[in-house]
Amino acid sequence: MPDKQHTFGQFETPPDVADLLLGFCLRRPTDRLLDPSCGEGAFLLRAAQWLDWLTDGRGDIPAEALWGIELDAETAVSAQQSLPQAHITNQNFFATNLDGERPFDAIIGNPPYTRAEWLGKLHEDAGEQLALFAEAPVAELVTSTSSVTGSVTGSVTAVSETDEAQLLMPASLWHSLGGRSGLHAYFFLHGTEFLREGGRFGFVVPNAWLDVAYGERLKQYLLDHYKILAIIESDVERWFSDAKINTCLIILEKCSGPNRRAANLVRLVRLKRPLTALIPFPLTSYQRQQAVERLVTRLLPSVSRTNDEAAICVLAQHDLRPAAKWGLLLRAPAVVSQPHVQASLRPLKSWATVQRGFTTGANDFFYLDAKTIETWQIEPEFRRPLLKSLRGLTHLTLSAADCKHELLWIPPDAQLTGTAVSRYLTWGEQEGIHQHTTCAVRQPWYSLPPQPAARLILPKGIWRRHMAPLLAESLLVDQQLYQIQLPPDIQPEVAAALLNSAWFALQCELHGRINFGAGVLWLAAYELGRILLPDPRALSAPQAQQLAALFTELAKRPFATTEDHLSHPTRQALDNAVFDLIGLNEGERTAVLASLQERIQARKK
């Protein structure tokens, strides 16, 4: 169970991030600004400084300029004390409406974030943040929205049973985004009515929605209501070093005209220098505002460009599709989307099957260590070598000798009377193993489903090594690994060469997600299946022979890290052979290799 700080997204926004968003969104001294989850008022304090700059330092900030909403009463009082000139309201943003107030010119903030799988698991006193509308049935608390986040820096107050019915999210709003989005996504929806036409939204949010399937509805909503001015990530720093989430900045401009939205230029920005280097002035210096405004101008070019500050992809909004991976567009080098490249490739799923390894439902029972085997004297015929992970393995060819675990393997028709393993099973039933959810659906509960033979495997999570080992024999694998099953007409060594190439490694970097923080790249089976590669069945005999020979030679060398491997002559020869198949010129090859190393370094930041 995650602790409340991580679950509630209570991480104070760095001033550099706040100032960059304000540079995009707070444009006139008369602008009115709202922070819908203001916490201690960090954004509003920076906004007050910006309004002072915009009024030439006269200090005459308009009385109606700064507004904040904070769920926690104590935090709201603290924010009001820090900013007596601001209007701080202690209530739930989602239960708030304009009540005759004119819409705001800017909405800025760092809304709370809750991972979908944590909903329903938090302590019962967390219910207030999803307190949206009175018409929600009480059952909603249990069925979909009982766990929620507090404000960015505030805590969560208890909810009494008598208040429960009026503190819940209606099913219509919850399911408008598919019911899986983080809470931050709903701030865009509810916040739209608070923003005037032409007003700007500037949020720092987790970046997972750019690429995952459940982000499609949010992307469609943004395309239907806003000009998307910029989406910004950093390749060189994490803006919340203590948070296990990866974030991006999104800047929107409310626009009701579909033609104007379609013609808008979207900037997908990857910063290559820290914000402290891009805004190198003290927090109270007027030069800081000027530096930010110049930076904003540089981040809004009319054509794509790359320099030592940033890589910026510019495209018309009508070319953005909600089903597309916007993160891939943001991070990919231009060569990836070139028509001649796309035409030469096929998705991995068209010539191979990607299947996850075992989910036993009780690894401690089914994964046998030496002590358990000795204690129970489990017979060899009921054990099979198991490859649980690639940790500590340094070669691209593996065998049973590389397996550090054994799997309890009992065919459903096995005769168990009088065996040692039958006594082990009886003990397992006494411990309730057979009642575990996954075990209970099997008949018999201890008989794992057969795992198809496969000669290649891929890890689900990648840190510093992109490796696809070839199995010298068919091995059973854990669910942290993927089996790559090949048809009989594809030579395993040829497929292994493709899956150990720099091209495939870059595609993994672009299609995977690091939204859980710590820099680990995670790939779902469907994401791997969509990766575009040369089709081994379309290769000539000499091409296939060359790839197989290069992989065989490469497999003789210990594998330390991808970055180390890239410099090895045999690896370079293999990469160039794959580049030849794709039809990349020298500049495109350099761009692929540079982008791969850049993405790995960005994950390690």
Q: In this predicted model, what pLDDT tens digit does every residue of 376-394 receive, in sequence order? A: 999 999 999 999 999 989 9
| Total domain count, the chain | 3
Which domain range does residue 409 map to?
359-450
Q: Are residues 245 and 345 in the same domain?
A: no
Q: Are residues 434 and 403 in the same domain?
A: yes
Between 601 and 528, where is the model more confident?
528
- In terms of Cβ atoms closer than 10 Å to its own Cβ (0-12, 13-18, 19+), residue 415 is exposed
Q: What is the pLDDT of residue 168?
A: 37
Helix axes 216-225, 184-191, angle to 10 degrees: 20
Q: Are residues 163 and 112 in the same domain?
A: yes
255: domain CATH number is 3.40.50.150
Taking residues 337-342, report their average pLDDT: 86
DSSP 433-485: GGGSHHHHTSSSTT-PPP----SEEEESEESS----PEESS--EEBTTEEEEE
Strand ranges in 41-194 using DSSP code E only, listed in sequence order: 66-70, 87-90, 104-109
Q: Are residues 343 and 368 in the same domain?
A: no
Tokens of 155: 């805590």
Give me the percent of the chain exceeding a pLDDT of 70. Answer: 86
Q: Are residues 580 and 486 in the same domain?
A: yes
Taking residues 152-181, report their average pLDDT: 47
Last residue of a domain, one of 424, 450, 476: 450
602: domain CATH number is 3.90.220.20
Q: Are residues 308 and 421 in the same domain?
A: no
- Mean pLDDT is lowest, of 226-240, 331-345, 362-376, for 331-345
Last residue of a domain, one of 316, 331, 346: 331
Tokens of 373: 């085997």
Check if the beta carbon of residue 233 is closer than 8 Å to that of residue 271.
Answer: yes
Tokens of 286: 């007027």
Q: Are residues 144 and 18 in the same domain?
A: yes
- In terms of Cβ atoms closer than 10 Å to its own Cβ (0-12, 13-18, 19+), residue 147 is buried
Query: Residue 208 — very low, low, confident or very high, per pLDDT cuts 50/70/90?
Result: confident
Query: Residue 171 — very low, low, confident or very high, per pLDDT cuts 50/70/90?
Result: low
- Mean pLDDT is lowest, of 23-37, 219-233, 340-354, 513-527, for 513-527
Q: In this predicted model, what pLDDT tens digit does every residue of 49-66 receive, in sequence order? A: 999 999 887 767 888 999
How much is the mean pLDDT over the chain?
86
Give the residue among 200, 198, 218 at the shortest CA–CA distance from 209: 218
Q: Which amino acid is at 243?
A: A
Phi-psi region of 325 (alpha: psi -120 to 50; beta: other; left: phi over 0): beta
Give the residue among 546, 540, 473, 458 at the shortest CA–CA distance from 505: 458
Q: What is the pLDDT of residue 383?
A: 95
Q: Are residues 143 and 191 in the same domain?
A: yes
Q: Report d(CA 505, CA 518) in Å as an integer.
A: 19
Q: What is the pLDDT of residue 131?
A: 40
Tokens of 370: 């030496």
Q: In this predicted model, what pLDDT tens digit does every residue of 134-163 receive, in sequence order? A: 333 323 322 333 223 223 222 222 233 333
The H or E element containing residue 277 is helix 275-278
Sheet holding 265-271, edge to edge: 87-90, 66-70, 33-35, 104-109, 195-206, 247-254, 226-234, 265-271, 310-316, 305-306
Between 581 and 161, where is the model more confident?
581
Query: Residue 126 — very low, low, confident or very high, per pLDDT cuts 50/70/90?
Result: very low
Last residue of a domain, one of 417, 450, 483: 450
Q: Are residues 370 and 423 in the same domain?
A: yes
Q: Are residues 381 and 308 in the same domain?
A: no
Q: What is the pLDDT of residue 176?
A: 78
Q: Are residues 383 and 349 in the same domain?
A: no
Q: In this predicted model, what pLDDT tens digit does every residue of 318-333 receive, in sequence order? A: 999 999 889 989 999 8
Sheet holding 456-459, edge to edge: 353-356, 481-485, 456-459, 470-471, 397-398
Give me the percent of the chain exceeding a pLDDT of 90. Answer: 66
Q: Report d(CA 371, CA 386) in Å as an integer.
A: 16
Q: Report d(CA 364, CA 481) in Å as an integer.
A: 18
Query: Residue 342 — very low, low, confident or very high, per pLDDT cuts 50/70/90?
Result: confident
Report the range out of 81-85, 154-158, 168-172 with the highest average pLDDT: 81-85
Q: In this predicted model, what pLDDT tens digit does every residue of 241-297 receive, in sequence order? A: 665 678 899 999 999 999 999 999 999 999 999 999 999 999 999 999 999 999 999
Q: pLDDT at residue 446 above 90?
A: yes
Q: Are residues 278 and 373 in the same domain?
A: no
Q: pLDDT at residue 502 above 70?
A: yes
